[in-house]
Structure 1
Amino acid sequence: MSHELLFFGGFIIFIVLMLAIDLGLFSKSDKPVSFKAAAIMSAVWVFFALAFGLVLYIWGNELHNVHDFARLKEIIAKHYHNIRINENDLAASIQLYNKTLSIEYLTGYVVEYALSVDNIFVMVLLFSSFGIPEKYYHKVLVWGIIGAIILRCIFIFVGAALIAKFGWILYVFGAFLVYTGINMYMNRNKEEEVDPQNHPVVKFASKYFKVTPRLDGGRFFHIENGVRYMTPLFLVLLVIEFTDLIFAVDSIPAIFSVTKDPYIVFFSNIFAVLGLRSMFFLLVNIIDKFHYLKVGLAFLLIFIGAKMLLHSWLEEFGFQTVHSLIIIISILVISIVASLVFPKKEKV
C-alpha cells in the first residue's frame, strides 16, 4: 500500500503544483487565452501525459510493489489484466505487465480525451448563455477542473470498489454505454439550448443563496452593503461542475472497460481532464467544423459498451487492449477527416 500511496501522492503534488503555476500565470491578468498560448498549453499537457505513460512502461510494477511472481499473479487477478506470464522469466513477465499498464493508461487517456470534446460543445454554450466575457473563461475552467479532479477521484475509487464486490456491474456499465451511444447518435443533429434562468443548478443557488445578475470583474462573489452575493461567474462554475458530473457518469465507466486498476483509471482520467482546458481554447472557435465528431463519439461509446458486455468472449478470441486503442483512434480519425472532407452546409 505504501507504494500506491507514494505513486498517488506524488501524482497529486505534481498536479497541484502545475495548476497553481497555471492559475498564477494566466488568471490574474484576466485576458483571453490566445490560440498560440492554448497550443503551447495543450502540447505541454500531452507531453506530460505521454511521459507518464513512459514512466509506467519502465516502472509500472512499482505502483503495486510487484517484484515477485506471487505478487504479480495477485495483482493480475485483482485487476483482471489479460496477461499470460512466463513462469520461467520474472523480468520478462514484469516487463509485459508494465507494457500492459502503459497501454491501458494510454487507451484510457485517449478515450477520456475524446469524450471531453463533447464537454467542450456544452461549455461553449454555457459561457454564451450566461454572457461570460471570454477573458474570464480561463479562470472559471481552472477552478472547474480542480472541482472535477476531486469529484472524479471519488467516482473512480467508489466504482472500483463496486466492481471488485459486484463483478456483474460491468454488464450494467456496458449496457448503459451502449444506450448512451445510441441516444447520442439519434440526437446528433439536435440543437442544444441552455436557459440560465431555469437551469436546476441556478434555481437551487437562487433559492438558498444571494445571487446577483451583474458581473463584478473576475470575482466569483460580490459584496454590497455587507451582504455577499454570488455573481454569474460563480453560477456558471457551478453549472460546469454539475455538467462534468453528468459527463463523468459516461466517461468513467468507459475507462473501466479498458482497465480495472483504479489508479490507472484515475491517472488517465485526470491527465485528460487537465488537457481539456487548453483543448477548449484551441477548439472554441472551430468546434462546429467537426460536425461528424458527435457521430464518432456515439460509435465510440457503443463500441466500448459492447466490449464490456462481451469482454469474456473477446478475451478468449484473443482481443487485447492494444486492439481497442487502434479501433478507438480509427473511429476518431475517421470522424475528424469526414468533417473536413465533407464540411457542414451553411444554412441559408
Structure 2
Amino acid sequence: MTNESIFLVSFILFILLILVLDLGLLNKKSDTVSMKQAGLMSFFVVALSMCFYFVLTHYGHLLHGIDSIERLQEIVSKHHHPVRIIPTDLEGSIYLYNQNLGLEYLTGYVVEYALSVDNIFVMVLIFTAFGVAPRNYHRVLFWGILGAIVMRFIFIFVGAALIQKFEWIMYVFGAFLVFTGVKMFFDKDHDDSIDPQNHPVVKFANKHFKVHNHFVGSKFFVTINGIKKMTPLFLVLVIIEFTDLIFAVDSIPAIFSVTKDPYVVFFSNIFAIIGLRSMFFLLAGIIDKFRFLKVGLAILLTFIGLKMLFHEYLDKVGFSTTDSLFIIVGILGGSIFLSLVLPEHKKERKLKYDAKNDDHLRK
C-alpha cells in the first residue's frame, strides 16, 4: 500500500470510531439529544479537528511520502501548493510545506463548517414539514451522515481528477459559486417552506415504490399484509441525502478554491460533516436568530467564486492561504456579530410572518 492509501484507510477507520461514539454509544440510553450532550459532542469533534490540524502541520509530508526535494517539488507542482522550496534544505522546505498544508486544511474546514449551517436551516424545515418526532432526529442524521461521507468521497476524488485533467473547470466552478452567492443574497428573505406532498422525492417514491402513509416508530420499512413498504421516515432520510447532494455542489468546489489536494479536501469535509449532527441539536432552536448569517454565507460564496476566477492573478500578487483564512473568518465573524448586536425586532418578525401567511393564502 502507498502512504496515501495507508493515511486514507487509517483516517476512515478513525472517523468510523468517532461515529460509533457520537451516533451510537452516546445515544444508547436516550432517544433525544440534550443541549448539554450536543454541546459536549460539538466541543469534542471540533477539538479532534484541531488535533488533526496539528498532525498535518507536523507530519503532513508523510501523507504523500515526501522524503526528498524531488518528491516535494512533484507534490507541490501537482497540487499547486503556494510553498517556497529551498533546494538545499529539505527539512526547512518540509516545514514550510506542512505549515501550508495545515492552513489549507483549517481554511477548508472553516468554509465547510460554515456552509453546513445553511444545511441546518433546511434540515429544520424538513423535519418540521414532515412532522418527524424529535426522538427520531438522531437516527435519521446518523444514516444521513454515513451516506454523506460516501457521496463526498466520490465527489471529491472525481472532482480532483477532473481538475487535474481539465484546469478550465476551476473557472466553471468559480462562475457557479459567484452565481450561487449572488442568488443566495437576493433570496435571503425568500420563504423556504417545504410542501411534503409535492416534494420531488415524495412524488417519485409514491410513483415507483410502495410507501406507507404513517410513521411507525423509528422504522424505515414496515411489512403490512406481506408487502414491504417505505415509511415516511425513510423518505425524510432520502430527502436529507438529496439535500446534502445539492449542498455538496456548492461546498466541494468552494474547498477546491483553497487547496487542490483531494486528501486535504476530504479530511476537512468529513470533519465538518461529522460535527454537523451535534451542531444541529445545538443550533436548531436558535438558528433563526442569526439574521445576517445567510448574507454572510452569500458573500463568502461570492468571494470564493471570485478567488477561483482570478486565481492566476492572485497567485502572482502573493495572495496566500493565510489571507483567505482571515477574510473567510472575517466574513463569518462579521455576520454573526451583526446578528447579535442588531437582533430582529418583534415588529419586523411580525411583518415577515404576516407576509408569509398572505403568500400561503394566495397559493
TM-score, normalisation: structure 2: 0.94
Q: How does 1:8-47 map to 2 (within 5 A)?
A: 8-29=8-29, 31-47=31-47
For residue 216 of structure 2, what is the aligned residue in structure 1?
216
Aligned length: 348
CA positional deviation for 1:153: 0.4
2:248 is aligned to: 248
Q: How does 1:149-228 map to 2 (within 5 A)?
A: 149-228=149-228
Shift of 1:26: 4.3
Greater shift after overlay, 251-260 or 190-199? Answer: 190-199
Indicate the SS of the match to 2:275: helix
Distance 1:179 1:29 in 2: 46
Conserved 8 A contact 1:27-1:139: no
> 2:361 corresponds to which residue?
none
CA offset digits 1:156-182 (Å, max 9, x no partner) = 001000000000110100010000000
Letter in 2 for 1:288: D
Q: Which residue number in structure 2 is paired with residue 121 of structure 1?
A: 121
In structure 1, distance between residues paired with 2:7 and 2:142: 24
Counterpart-to-counterpart distance in 2, 1:17 and 1:51: 16
Matched, 1:50 2:79: no
Q: State the distance in 1 between where 2:318 and 2:79 align.
A: 18
Residue aligned with 2:193, SS: coil
1:5 equivalent in structure 2: 5
Aligned to 1:296: 296
**Would the aligned equivalents of 1:112 and 1:272 in 2 still touch at CA under 8 Å?**
yes
Tell me which amino acid in the other structure corresponds to 1:227: I
Structure 1, residues 276-314: CA drift from partner, whole Å, max 9, x if none? 111111100000000100000000000000101111111
What is aligned with 1:93?
Answer: 93
Residues 93-146 of structure 1 show CA distances to partners (whole Å, capped at 9, x for unaligned) of 001001111000000000000000000000000000010011111110011000
Matched, 1:316 2:281: no
* 1:233 corresponding residue in structure 2: 233
Q: Which moved more, 1:250-259 or 1:190-199?
A: 190-199
Counterpart for residue 328 of structure 1: 328
Aligned to 2:109: 109
Q: What SS class does the counterpart of residue 229 from structure 1 fall into? A: strand
Q: Aligned partners of 1:166 and 1:21: how far apart in 2?
A: 41
Unpaired runs of at least 5, structure 1: none
**In structure 2, C-alpha distance between the alignment counterparts of 1:231 and 1:28, rounded to whole Å:** 23
User: How much identity, in percent, do the aligned residues show?
Assistant: 60
Q: In the TM superposition, what is the alpha-carbon distance from 1:27 to its structure 2 partner?
A: 4.6
Q: For the structure 1 residues 279 and 291, does the alpha-carbon distance in structure 2 shift closer, same or farther, using more than 3 Å as the test?
A: same
Shift of residue 21, structure 1, vs aligned partner: 2.9
Which stretch shifts more, 220-229 or 107-116? Answer: 220-229
Contact 2:27 2:33 in 1 (8 A): no
Distance, in Å, in 2 between the alignment partners of 1:26 and 1:131 is 25
CA distance in 2, matches of 1:269, 1:317: 28
Question: 2-side partners of 1:270 and 1:180: how far apart?
Answer: 23
Look up the match of 1:84. Answer: 84
Give the superposition deviation at 1:265: 0.3
Cα 1:200–1:27 change in 2 (3 A) is farther
Q: TM-score w.r.t. structure 1 length? A: 0.98
Amino acid at match of 1:44: F
Question: Secondary structure, in 3 states, of the residue corresponding to 1:116?
Answer: helix
The 1:30/1:204 distance shift into structure 2, 3 A limit, reads farther
Deviation of 1:214 after TM superposition, in Å, equals: 0.9
